[in-house]
Amino acid sequence: MKEKRPFPPTLQLIFHLLAWLPLLWLLWSYWQDALGLNFVRTITLRTGKAALIFLLLSLTVTPLYLLFGWKWVYRYRRPLGLYAFLYAALHLLTFVGLDYGFDWALVGDAMRNNRYTQVGLTAFLILLPLALTSTQRSRAWLGPKWWKRLHRLSYLAAIIAILHYALLVRQYFTQPITFGVILAVLLGTRLFMALVKKRYALG
Ligand code: HEM
């Protein structure tokens, strides 16, 4: 039987180092006193951006496989998704802890009064079960069909996260629009390839 080639540990190390980089950069900026006057806002913005980027990177895996047949990229899907969740959790923790001092009444008010926090919370609540069921054991427990269905919600989480971003910018829409276009390309590639596969299966 052909043996599965072990993945180069150096590549794994580089990948994980890059993934921790946004957090290390934050800690470094804090150490250097370079987070600016409104440091809570800086942390919120940076962790939010990191969460969105990792979420989109995790959604890049399947289109890459479908287009180029690179099966090895699947090794990165789970860690990318988990890093997205980690940064989203830090983002939420910054909001609740640093911004609102864990004053749950104030947090509740902010959630009720701001559309973008409601939308952000929705994205987070979608990511939560995906992170919790990312293990092989959960996959076996749910069955591959239901697991796949559940994990397709990551596209919905990304759409809602971009909406959350768009709702809070007042002038510079370039960034949320760019993220939206990237997501549309990823989703479009998946749908297009699914259609092509169906057509070939029928023909
Ligand atoms: C309960 C959940 C969430 C809350 C309360 C929340 C709250 C916030 C707040 C207060 C800001 C900064 C607004 C400002 O000062 O301009 C922000 C920005 C942002 N958030 Fe969230 N957020 C949540 C969930 C998420 C999630 C799940 C993601 C992504 C997966 C996300 C991505 C972003 C992005 C990309 C930004 C803008 C970053 C930038 O402008 O550079 N947020 N969020």
pLDDT tens digits for 114-123?
999 999 999 9
Residue 4 confidence class, pLDDT cut points 50, 70, 90: low
Query: Which residues are within 8 A (CB) of 63 and not within 5 positions of it... i.e. 6 or more apart?
Result: 186, 189, 190, 193
* Rounded average pLDDT over 22-50: 97
Rounded average pLDDT over 122-151: 97
139 lines ligand 1 (CB under 6 A): no
**Residue 10 pLDDT level (bands cut at 50, 70, 90):** confident
Q: How far apart are CA 19 and CA 195, in angstroms?
A: 33
Least confident piece of the model among 9-13, 82-86, 107-111 = 9-13
Supply 66's token pair.
């479908």
61's torsion region: left (phi>0), alpha (psi -120 to 50) or beta?
Answer: alpha
Domains and CATH numbers, the chain: 9-202 (1.20.120)
The position carrying tokens 């926090």 is: 117
CB 115 within 8 A of CB 167: yes
Distance between CA 193 and CA 101 in Å, rounded?
A: 47
pLDDT tier for residue 112 given thresholds of 50, 70 and 90? very high
Cβ(52) – ligand 1 distance below 6 Å: yes
- Average confidence (pLDDT) over 69-79: 94
The response to whether residue 85 sits with its C-beta less than 6 Å from ligand 1 reads: no
Q: How far is the CA of 166 from the centre of ligand 1 (A)?
A: 10
Query: Which of 49, 80, 165, 177 has most ligand 1 atoms within 8 Å of its beta carbon, as the pocket-test mutant?
Result: 165
Say yes or no: CB of residue 123 within 6 Å of ligand 1. yes
Q: Which residue has the tokens 């080639």?
A: 5
Average per-residue pLDDT for the chain: 94
- Top pLDDT among 3 and 32 is at 32
Q: Of the candidates 80, 73, 14, 94, which has an alpha carbon nearest to the alpha carbon of residue 51?
A: 80
133 secondary structure, DSSP code? T
pLDDT at 199: 74
Query: Which amino acid residue places its CA nearest to atom 2 of ligand 1?
Result: 121
Question: With bands split at pLDDT 50, 70 and 90, how would you rate the model's confidence at 196?
Answer: confident
Nearest CA to ligand 1 atom 35: 49
Whole-angstrom distance, CA of residue 177 vs CA of residue 183: 10
Say yes or no: CB of residue 88 within 6 Å of ligand 1: yes
> Ligand 1: distance of its center to the CA of 106 in Å?
17
Statement: residue 1 has pLDDT above 70: no
The mean per-residue pLDDT over the stretch 45-67 comes to: 97
Rounded Cα gap, residues 189 and 172, in angstroms: 27
pLDDT score, position 6: 61
